Chain A
């Protein structure tokens, strides 16, 4: 079972999440303030983070971007607007749940995320490393996994583009373009595309 860090400044939400997840046998650690959350996230190992977008006025996706990208993070927030969800996903979160949530919603997202284990960013780095090491076949496998698990994210096409660059420039160009369609601000794809042209 997973070790999960729960961070929210609302006591009710922390308690509710803790109850739901402990019932499933997960180990939960809760943080009520930003300092504590940041300390725990930096010093301890967690399989998953459930956190509000803002804790005590700190925007966690901006201030803790590196950590959030490293540990799969599900954002739990009252702001149920698509823009917020898209922004959260762009900033490295893997999923998004709006408040109020049902126990089923939480359990579903948690088990989905845990089965993926790795964030698209992390997988992208893996692809880059594999390509550097000349392990193209393995890189392609990981890239396909990203495409499959995160179909609406730019990383999958970006990785496919990198893999194909040396064999088929046209196809690579199409993948980078697809990546930019998913997220027009996805810089790595933009840079690669520029270099190709």
Chain B
């Protein structure tokens, strides 16, 4: 395993909680932030990281998470603009080199690309998978 890293995940939904468990299991330190405390109930048993209950759009919350020390920040909130702001803050204020964001609305992919933020869109990924399953990929 490469050296143990420090990951900050914002949004403890289905993807966030799963990722947090996986990274913990790989021996990394993980901090998960969510605005709703109940969200942490989703965390799997293998999760050994920290949880911070707070609004990630407030810089104070991000400071508490020691974001400046993160090897990677993963923005997974349910709002694309919030993810965009978190990504910008992580990069420009905290100097984090690796920032990855979830994008809900496929139309917003362009925004993230324009600002060179690594992003993925579950809808587009599902769409690609579905195309492949239907054998539509070959053409």
B54 CB contacts on chain A under 8 angstroms: none
Write 6 A-B pairs (CB below 8 A) sorted by A numbering: A12-B47, A20-B27, A100-B29, A100-B49, A102-B66, A105-B69
Query: Is A84 part of the binding interface, using a Cβ–Cβ cutoff of 8 Å?
Result: no
A12 CB contacts on chain B under 8 angstroms: 47-50
Residue in A closest to B25 when the chains form the complex, CB atoms? A19
Residue in A closest to B26 when the chains form the complex, CB atoms? A19
A binding-site residues for B, Cβ under 8 Å: 11-13, 15-16, 19-20, 23, 80, 99-105
Q: Which of A19, A100, A101 has the most C-beta atoms of chain B within 10 angstroms of its own C-beta?
A: A100
Query: Is B111 part of the binding interface, using a Cβ–Cβ cutoff of 8 Å?
Result: no
Q: Which of B6, B48, B49 has the most C-beta atoms of chain A within 10 angstroms of its own C-beta?
A: B48
B49 CB contacts on chain A under 8 angstroms: 12, 16, 100
Query: Is B65 part of the binding interface, using a Cβ–Cβ cutoff of 8 Å?
Result: yes
Q: Give chain B nearest CB distance to A79 CB in angstroms.
A: 12
B57 CB contacts on chain A under 8 angstroms: none
B3 CB contacts on chain A under 8 angstroms: 103
Q: Which of B28, B50, B64 has the most C-beta atoms of chain A within 10 angstroms of its own C-beta?
A: B50
B47, A19: Cβ atoms closer than 8 Å: no
CB within 8 Å for A23 and B29 given contacts A16-B49, A100-B65, A100-B66:
no
A103, B48: Cβ atoms closer than 8 Å: no
B29, A102: Cβ atoms closer than 8 Å: yes
Which among B27, B52, B69 is the interface contact of A102 at CB below 8 angstroms? Answer: B69
B47, A103: Cβ atoms closer than 8 Å: no
Q: How many Å lie between the Cα of A13 and that of B66 in the bound state? A: 16
Q: Give chain A nearest CB distance to B70 CB in angstroms.
A: 8
Which among A11, A13, A80, A103 is the interface contact of B4 at CB below 8 angstroms? Answer: A103
A104, B50: Cβ atoms closer than 8 Å: no
Q: How many Å lie between the Cα of A15 and that of B64 in the bound state? A: 21
Please encode chain B, from 51 to 65, with 1 for each CB lying within 8 Å of some chain A CB and 0 for all others: 010000000000011
Q: How many Å lie between the Cα of A56 and that of B70 in the bound state? A: 30
A104, B48: Cβ atoms closer than 8 Å: no
Q: How many Å lie between the Cα of A105 and that of B69 in the bound state? A: 9
A11 CB contacts on chain B under 8 angstroms: 48
CB within 8 Å for A102 and B47 given contacts A16-B29, A19-B27:
no
Which among B1, B6, B64 is the interface contact of A104 at CB below 8 angstroms? Answer: B6
